Structure 1
Amino acid sequence: MRPFILTGYIKKALTCAEYDKLEDGTFAGRIPPCPGVIAFSRTLRGCEKELRSTLEDWVLLGLKLGHPLPIIGEYDLNKKVAHEPMAAM
């Protein structure tokens, strides 16, 4: 069974995450296919959580504003969904 598309997109995007330990001992994370998705934290675990939250907000805002989002793996959030009238159901 295929996972929910938004959940799958988030999970797949997070597999592209790159993390760096900075000179001050803190961590920075980014997801290169998703411009502007970056997070910082004192710990790697905290950075992972912040990056996930930032990605989720970035995706939802992009969808709301109609921005094209990168296709990640088999997940394309840019496809328009055709809705049928309720009377047809």
Structure 2
Amino acid sequence: MFAEYIGAALKRAEYISLEDGTFAARVDGLRGVIATGRTVEECREDLIEVIEEWITIRLEKGLDIPAVV
């Protein structure tokens, strides 16, 4: 379940290059999910971890997990 959701979220991820040459990413609709990295790949790996933690916290708190379309 997590893998399918994360895969869909990664397809919607928006990456930006920051002034210092690093990268940041977010996924529209996943409030609070922000990742950074020195490279796009590192940023993507961080994003996967952030999404996993975000899902876990929302489940623990009984919060809804929005659909990723």
Instruction: Give the TM-score of the pair, scaled to structure 1.
Output: 0.73
How far does the alpha carbon of each residue in 1:17-69 deviate from its partner, in whole angstroms, 9 at most, with x for none?
00000111010011111001001111111000001100010001101111111
Which is richer in strand?
A: 2
Structure-2 residue corresponding to 1:39: 35
1:13 and 2:9 are equivalent in the alignment: yes
- Runs in 1 of length 4+ with deviation above 6 angstroms? none
Paired-residue identity, %: 41
Larger Rg: 1
Amino acid at match of 2:58: G
How many residue pairs match? The answer is 69
- Note the residue ranges of structure 2 that are not aligned, 5 or more in a row: none
User: Which structure exhibits the higher relative contact order, with contacts defined as CA atoms closer than 8 Å and separated by 6 or more residues?
Assistant: 2
Instruction: Give the TM-score of the pair, scaled to structure 2.
Output: 0.92
1:50 equivalent among 41, 46, 54: 46
Which is richer in helix?
A: 2
Could you say what the CA RMSD is over the residues aligned between the two structures, in angstroms? Answer: 0.9
The alignment partner of 1:15 has SS state of helix
- Note the residue ranges of structure 1 that are not aligned, 5 or more in a row: 74-89
